[in-house]
Amino acid sequence: MSGDSKWIWSQQGAKLLRLVSHWGHRCLVGSLPNRCLLCHQSLNSTEAGFCQVCLQTGLYHSPICLGCGKSMQLELEYCGQCQKHQPRKVIAPCSYHQGFGPWIAAIKYQGQLAALPLLCQALVARVGQLEQQGLTTLPQAIVPVPLHPNRLRQRGFNQAWLIAHELSKQLSLPLISDGLVRLQDTRPQAGLNGAQRRRNLQDAFELNADFAYQRIALVDDVVTTGTTVAEIARLFEARYVHVQIWCLARAEAPGLLEAIDL
Ligand SMILES: [Zn+2]
Ligand SMILES: [Zn+2]
């Protein structure tokens, strides 16, 4: 990394951190114990939710390829490999394995929402940073990955909708959650290989409304191989809608990377 780009990145990183800590303090103070959700250290009066150290280590602190999620030396859209085929952009503030993973899993599996606004704010800050650098364009609307009605009844909520709702509030962008439906109650994707994942999701979604927007952000909690979001993105792209993917974290699963089909 050149001296200049290192400086720019560290400025951006510091700004991201300030934004997240400031917002977190404003929203979470009073609703959480005065301890870091990750390391349980006492928080000072300017911190809320997570301490500075956990934020610093938990969020991306180097440029990341918007295709495959690899860390890079320079702030570019894509790494050399992704540059050739320019995959859909996946925007996340951190890697699932960097520290916040358990809090993201807790949203989905335990309905524990303590970290949700703060992680959404980290994602918003990341999008703002990329937009400033000319590496992405803000979408016109936010669309959550839908849950099948059976699963929704079981779980009681769709975590992707909760995240999309929070993002739409923070960015003042419309949340569009009708029109895109999940037709099949597919089995969980975890544990399936690339081909099985694609087969599992074949014809699982339908876009049945006229869509008034040209650029959307499709939101999920975590993106691993991207098979689910790719399946939905194809439906939008067939109608000439540009899709970027937003998630709270990317989970790079060893052994599944060859199945990336974004
Ligand atoms: Zn901490
Ligand atoms: Zn890449």
When pLDDT is averaged across residues 223-242 and rounded to a whole number, the result is 92
φ, ψ of residue 218 in degrees (nearest 5): -95, 125
Ligand nearest to the CA of residue 56, numbered in listed order: 1
Ligand nearest to the CA of residue 39, numbered in listed order: 1
Write out pLDDT tens, residues 31-86: 566 899 899 999 988 887 889 899 889 999 899 999 999 999 998 999 999 999 99
Q: What's the CA-to-centroid distance between 238 and ligand 1, angstroms?
A: 44
For residue 60, which amino acid is it? Y
Tokens of 161: 């909708």
Write out pLDDT tens, residues 99-115: 899 999 999 998 988 88
In this predicted model, which residue has the larger pLDDT, 224 or 190?
224
Question: How many C-beta neighbours within 10 Å does residue 218 have?
Answer: 27
Q: What's the CA-to-centroid distance between 47 and ligand 1, angstroms?
A: 10
Q: Helix, strand, coil % (nearest 5) of the chain?
A: 40, 15, 45
Ligand nearest to the CA of residue 72, numbered in listed order: 2
Looking at residue 15, its pLDDT comes to 54
The yes-or-no verdict on residue 23 having pLDDT over 80 is no
> What residues are paired with 92 via a beta bridge?
none
Q: What's the CA-to-centroid distance between 125 and ligand 2, angstroms?
A: 21
Ligand nearest to the CA of residue 66, numbered in listed order: 2
Q: What's the CA-to-centroid distance between 99 and ligand 1, angstroms?
A: 10
CA distances from 197 to 31, 84, 131, 192, 229 (A): 39, 24, 32, 6, 12
Q: What's the CA-to-centroid distance between 67 and ligand 2, angstroms?
A: 5
The yes-or-no verdict on residue 216 having pLDDT over 80 is yes
Cβ within 8 Å of residue 171, ≥6 positions away: 124, 127, 138, 142
DSSP letter at 41 equals P
Q: What's the CA-to-centroid distance between 180 and ligand 1, angstroms?
A: 38
The pairing of strands 90-91 and 205-207 is unpaired
The yes-or-no verdict on residue 227 having pLDDT over 90 is no
10 Å CB burial of residue 177 (0-12, 13-18, 19+) is: middle
Looking at residue 200, its pLDDT comes to 73
Q: What's the CA-to-centroid distance between 52 and ligand 1, angstroms?
A: 7
